[in-house]
Amino acid sequence: MNRILTGIVTLGFVLAAPVAGCAASETESSDTVAQAPADAAAIEQAQALLTDFFENNAVPIAGFSVTIRKDGNTVFNESRGVMNLDSQASASPQTRYRIYSTSKPLTAAAAMRLAEQGRLDLDAPIGELMPDLPEHIQPITARQLMGHRSGIRHYRSGEWVSVSDWNCPGPRDAMTDFIDDPLEFEPGTDMAYSTFGFVVLSAVIEAAAGEPYDDAMQHLIFEPAGMSATAIEGRSVSGYDVATFYLPPDPDDPEDDWLATAEYETPIDASCKFGGGGFVSTSEDLARFGQAMMDGRLLSAEGVDELTSVTTPATDAGPAYGLGFFDGEGWLGSLSAWALRENVRASVPAIPDTDIWFHGGSAAGGYSMLFVYPEHDLVATLASTNSLGGNLVMLDLHGIAMAFANDAE
C-alpha cells in the first residue's frame, strides 16, 4: 500500500516507452479528423516527437492517449501501448483514464455556468445554500473555493489513501474527513492548493443546481460540450472501455519487472475526490471541453476570462492560478528555463506570447494534462494509465501542440 504514494503529488511527468510488442494505434473519434495536406507536416512532426519521447524516457507506462484539436477539428488522435497488461488490449483515444486534478477546471466551469444562469452567487457565503455546514465553513464563498483561497486544508500525510478506499455516493458523503477541521487561514487572505476545497465546491454546485452533482455536471458541462465518456469513478458509461489503473514501477528497484505483471493495479477509488479529482475521462472528452470553452458553448467570454485570469501570482510554491486554471504560459516558461539550465533538454519548444490555459492531474493509476491556446484555436490533451514523475512531458505535449499552431501560421 505504501507504494501508492509514489509520485502522487507531481503534476509534471516524462512520457514513457511503448510496451514491448504493442504497436501504436490511431483511432478516429466521432469528430472530424482533419488530416488535409496542409496538416501533413504537423502530423509528421508530432509523430517524430512522440517517437523521440519513447526512445529517451526512463519511466514505463502501460498506455496513454493524446488528442489535438485545431480550428474545431480533431487533427491528431494517437494512442500507444495497452489499456490492460493482462489482456494486452490496445489503448485508444476512447479509452477512459483517471484524470485526477484536471477535474478541477471542469468543476470551476460548472460553478461559473451556474453563476451566469443566476443560480449561484460566487461571492455569497456558501452557508446561505448549506446552512447545516460547520459555522467556520459557512462564510467561505464559491469564488474562494475555485481559487484555493478558502483556507480549507489539503491532504495530510498518508491521508490520500485513507480517503480513497470506498465509492462515495455524493460530495456531502466525502466531506466528513475534513469539514470539522480548523481553517489554515482566514478565507480570502492567502492561497493553498486544496482538493478538499473542490469537494466542498462540488457540494455547492449540487445545492445550487438542485440535483445530484453527477447530474448537474452532465447538464451543465458534459452535454453542451459533447462529452459522452466522462463520469465520477465507479459510474458506468456505456460504449467506452476503462483502462486498468496501475502504480508506477519502484524507482529504487532495478529488478522491478513492472511491465511483465499486473500485480500493481491500484487498490483505491478516486470517487471521493469528486470535482477535485474524481473523474474518469478520455483524451477526446478533455479536448472537447477545451474546445467548448473557446467556442462559447459553456460560458460567456467574460465568464471564461474570470476563470482563466490570474488571481494568485506565481510563488516558489507553485505557478500562478486563476479559478480552476493555472497560468500555462508562465509555468511552461519556467519549465523551459529549468530544462535548459539543468541541461535536460538541448532545446525547448517556443512559448507563445499569449494566454495558455492549463491544468494537470497525477496520482495512483492516472495522469492527465489539458492545454488550451485560445488565440490559436488549439487544444492539447493527454491521459494515461499510471502516474508519472518529472516535468518534461508538459514540454513534450506543448511541443506537439506547437507543431499544429505553427502549421497554421
What CATH number does residue 314 fall under?
A: 3.40.710.10
Q: Strand order of the sheet with strand 97-98?
A: 97-98, 279-281, 231-232
Kindly state whether residues 189 and 237 are assigned to the same domain.
Answer: no
Q: Is residue 162 part of a domain?
A: yes
- Burial group, residue 72, by CB count within 10 angstroms (0-12, 13-18, 19+): middle
pLDDT digits (tens, 9 = 90+) for 71-93: 999 999 998 888 988 889 999 99
Kindly state whether residues 168 and 234 are assigned to the same domain.
Answer: no
Q: How far apart are CA 12 and CA 70, in angstroms?
A: 24
Q: Is residue 161 part of a domain?
A: yes
In the prediction, which pLDDT does 252 show? 65
In the prediction, which pLDDT does 102 show? 97
Comparing 190-199, 243-252, 280-289, which segment has the lowest mean pLDDT? 243-252
In the prediction, which pLDDT does 212 show? 97
Residue 54 in this model has a pLDDT that exceeds 70: no
Residue 346 in this model has a pLDDT that exceeds 90: no
Indicate the residue among 144, 178, 213 that finishes a domain: 213
Indicate the residue among 213, 246, 266 that finishes a domain: 213
Give the residue from 254, 265, 213 showing the smallest Cα distance to 84. 265
Domain enclosing residue 312, as ranges: 2-99+226-407
Kindly state whether residues 91 and 111 are assigned to the same domain.
Answer: no
| pLDDT top residue among 5 and 396 | 396
Cell numbers at 257, concatenated: 519487472
In the prediction, which pLDDT does 149 show? 96
Kindly state whether residues 39 and 65 are assigned to the same domain.
Answer: yes
pLDDT digits (tens, 9 = 90+) for 188-201: 999 999 999 999 99
This prediction has a pTM of 0.88
Q: Is residue 69 part of a domain?
A: yes
Kindly state whether residues 332 and 366 are assigned to the same domain.
Answer: yes
Q: Is residue 238 part of a domain?
A: yes
Kindly state whether residues 154 and 60 are assigned to the same domain.
Answer: no
Q: What mean pLDDT, rounded, does the chain reach?
A: 84
In the prediction, which pLDDT does 405 show? 87
Kindly state whether residues 308 and 175 are assigned to the same domain.
Answer: no
Q: Is residue 220 part of a domain?
A: no
Q: Is residue 272 part of a domain?
A: yes
Indicate the residue among 213, 236, 268 that finishes a domain: 213
Kindly state whether residues 144 and 49 are assigned to the same domain.
Answer: no
Kindly state whether residues 308 and 377 are assigned to the same domain.
Answer: yes
Kindly state whether residues 58 and 201 are assigned to the same domain.
Answer: no
**DSSP assignment, residue 160?**
H
Kindly state whether residues 366 and 249 are assigned to the same domain.
Answer: yes
Q: How far is CA 290 from the centre of its chain?
A: 11
Q: Is residue 325 part of a domain?
A: yes
Kindly state whether residues 89 and 133 are assigned to the same domain.
Answer: no
Give the residue from 31, 65, 98, 113 showing the smallest Cα distance to 296. 113
Q: What one-letter code names the amino acid at 265?
A: E
Residue 126 in this model has a pLDDT that exceeds 50: yes
pLDDT class of 248 with cuts at 50, 70, 90: low
pLDDT class of 56 with cuts at 50, 70, 90: low
Give the residue from 72, 113, 129, 84 showing the smallest Cα distance to 292. 72
How many structural domains comprise the chain?
2
Q: Is residue 392 part of a domain?
A: yes
In the prediction, which pLDDT does 264 show? 57
